[in-house]
Amino acid sequence: MIGIPLLGFLISLSVPERRETWLSGLAFYTAGINLLATLVFLVFWVLQGGKNLNLEEIILFKSDHFEFLIDFFFDRISAVYLSVGALLTFLITFYSRYYLHREPGYKRFFNTVLFFYLGFNLTILAGNFETLFIGWEILGLSSFLLVAFYRKNLLPTRNAIKVFSIYRIGDVGLILAMWASHHLWHANVTFLDLTDVQRVVDQQMGHSGIALFIGLMLLLAAAAKSAQFPFSSWLPRAMEGPTPSSAIFYGSLSVHLGVFLLLRTYSFWENQLLVRILIGSTGLITAVVSTTIARVQTSIKTQIGYASLTQIGIMFMEVAAGLELLVLIHFAGNAFLRTYQLLVSPSVVSYLIREQFYGFVPQAKKEGSTWWNRLYLSIYVWSLKEWNLDRLIQGVIFQPLKKLGHRLDFLRYRTLLLYFIPSYALGVYVLVAGYVLPGWLHQILPVGFAFLSLMMVLKSFTERRSIRLAWTLLWINHFWMVLAIAENENFALHEIGIYLSGVVFFGALGWGLIGWMTHRYGDLGMYEYQGYVRRHPLVAFLFLLAVLGLIGFPISPTFIGEDLLFSHIHEDQFVLAFLAALAFVMEGVAAIRIYARLFFGTLPSDTLPDLQTSTPRKLV
């Protein structure tokens, strides 16, 4: 159930673009074989009693204080999500082979769908937070690529970055939940361990504060992934992709993964009344707000998206009430219904346009100015504005970070050479020489170094004039973060090597590709989307790999290194943990922004016709 989608994805990368039949057939048979394997496995699992299964597959790293392992877990929650996902993916691949016929990017679509399916299965079958986070990251990248499928157009590209940014906010919650969980259990806890109710209760008795923190961070991750209040505004932006991707991602599977995360960790937070109230309240607010927005939408895909959010909000309430079986039934029904609605939406739009043209009758105007009419109109207007949720997220989260980044315009190459690199060398020398620092300074320095790392990320996030400088700042911030953690606690040399090996390799790869592009086209800024993927698709692919490796995607040792780094942050150092998590998350947003600005959009030469080479066309 993981190997089949992985093999299909790898094979699809080698199929030529012009071989549409091969591509669609490969995706169709990959999904079909995996569906058959899933059904056969479910039959044997049920016949053997339907017991919870746990498989500790691979230990990637182990030390005295830390263990990073790939673990798989299967229960009835996994059974429902896996079977629904397999069937819907099979249907989507069958539908898409005709729907996207002769569409530019046909191969790219099926590559991304198979990649998404791999990430979905990894997430559902994950037996611990580390394995789940691998699938979680794959799903985030797949969402970005599918929303920006029409990457020549400005709106899909900008919306893809917005969706990815909200996903990264959820990553903050999941990263901090993993960090706090390590300190709560002093081990790499599996989801099978969480099913031991007495053990969970005993562990939380003396650590109620950190247990509450984990519950709140899980809620943050689930709310961002499932577009719950106040993160609901990203869902209509995600509908810019093709209709099949909207159906499989934002109508049926991906948008329900927040519910899955809460179901998977329910035994951990079920005794925390505050967390249950907050989960139920989040679902209730989302259900009320989403249903008012859905009723005034002029786009059918957006209307379906908000209608789905209403049902997911109700699922949050059901999860908070402990109604697991009802949630699973609700998920399956909502997933199949929204998939069907999105797939037939083009035909529905065509029918409604024809009906409106021939049989439209305007409603009679209602007179009166009662308090109920005024309230009705106020809600109507607020719903048209989508309750300003997009403006709320921008104003509360991203605008303050942008303002802080714009205040760092003094960060140039000259500043780095004169101040930051010498100060970094001094910090390394003090650390290596073994100088004993005063206690107060020893407590301040890690936070200060982590803050400097975050400042470089924020400056890269707001940089416009030079892509090379923005990439350099992202590259250097990792070294400051390593220094911060090494000053905080003994960070073994081989652990530093694991973390920095991926950073050095992929950072150098990105630097070299930017240098090649600069030599060819001059110093490239980021004032607009430049669309160089059309001229240099191989360079764009390699730069995407460099971006993913630099931000710690599961193709780089830095992915394990990030977990190692957080294991050296103490359980009472919430500020340091928050700064580190925010730096990692914003680095991902800044790096994806660099990639999109350089390779997505329209080529400068395509905006105006070339008068010297153009020839008049014959009228037919």
Same-domain check for residues 196 and 283:
yes
Question: How many domains is the chain built from?
Answer: 2
pLDDT at 435: 62
Q: For residue 68, what are the contacts with CB-CB under 8 A and spacing of at least 6?
A: 59, 60, 61, 62, 130, 188, 560, 563, 564
pLDDT for residue 605 is more than 70: no
Decide: 35 and 93 in contact? Cβ < 8 Å: no
Beta bridge partners of 67: 62
Same-domain check for residues 587 and 476:
yes
pLDDT for residue 591 is more than 80: yes
Same-domain check for residues 197 and 304:
yes
pLDDT tens profile 504-538: 999 999 999 999 998 888 877 888 888 888 888 89
DSSP 397: I
In the predicted model, what is the mean pLDDT of the chain?
84
Same-domain check for residues 87 and 10:
yes
3-state secondary structure 446-510: HHHHHHHHHHHHHHHHHCCCCHHHHHHHHHHHHHHHHHHHHHHCCCCHHHHHHHHHHHHHHHHHH
What mean pLDDT is predicted for residues 27-47?
92
Instruction: Report if residue 366 sits inside a domain.
Output: no
pLDDT for residue 436 is more than 80: no
Same-domain check for residues 479 and 564:
yes
Share of the chain above pLDDT 70, in %: 91
pLDDT at 607: 47
What mean pLDDT is predicted for residues 255-284?
92
Q: Which of 303, 318, 351 is the last residue of a domain?
A: 351
Q: Which of 316, 351, 386 is the last residue of a domain?
A: 351
pLDDT at 618: 36
Same-domain check for residues 448 and 322:
no
- C-alpha radius of gyration, the chain, whole number: 25
Share of the chain above pLDDT 90, in %: 27
pLDDT tens profile 200-243: 887 777 777 888 999 999 999 999 999 898 888 888 888 877 88
pLDDT for residue 419 is more than 80: no
pLDDT for residue 614 is more than 60: no
Instruction: Report if residue 389 sits inside a domain.
Output: no
What tokens were used for 229? Answer: 């209040």
Same-domain check for residues 102 and 172:
yes
Instruction: Report if residue 501 sits inside a domain.
Output: yes
> Residue length, the chain?
620
pLDDT for residue 117 is more than 50: yes
Same-domain check for residues 422 and 290:
no
Q: For residue 66, what are the contacts with CB-CB under 8 A and spacing of at least 6?
A: 182, 188, 563, 564, 567
Same-domain check for residues 197 and 334:
yes
Same-domain check for residues 141 and 268:
yes
| Alpha-helical regions (H) of 148-272 | 154-185, 191-194, 197-205, 208-225, 234-238, 243-245, 257-264, 266-269
Q: Which residue has the tokens 């710690």?
A: 552
pLDDT for residue 613 is more than 60: no
Instruction: Report if residue 254 sits inside a domain.
Output: yes
pLDDT at 362: 66
pLDDT at 87: 93
Same-domain check for residues 346 and 412:
no
Higher pLDDT, 418 or 194: 194
Instruction: Report if residue 147 sits inside a domain.
Output: yes
pLDDT for residue 403 is more than 60: yes
Same-domain check for residues 438 and 309:
no
**Number of Cα atoms under 13 Å in the Cβ half of residue 454:** 20
Instruction: Report if residue 620 sits inside a domain.
Output: no
Name the residue range of residue 78's domain.
Answer: 3-351
Instruction: Report if residue 615 sits inside a domain.
Output: no
Low-confidence winner among 388-397, 462-471, 512-521 (lowest mean pLDDT) = 388-397
What tokens were used for 140? Answer: 């985030």
Instruction: Report if residue 553 sits inside a domain.
Output: yes
pLDDT tens profile 137-177: 999 899 888 888 888 888 888 888 888 888 888 888 898 99
pLDDT for residue 430 is more than 50: yes
Per-residue b or e along 97-126, where b marks 16 or more CB atoms closer than 10 Å to that residue's CB: beebeeeebbbbbbbbbbbbbbbbbbbbbb
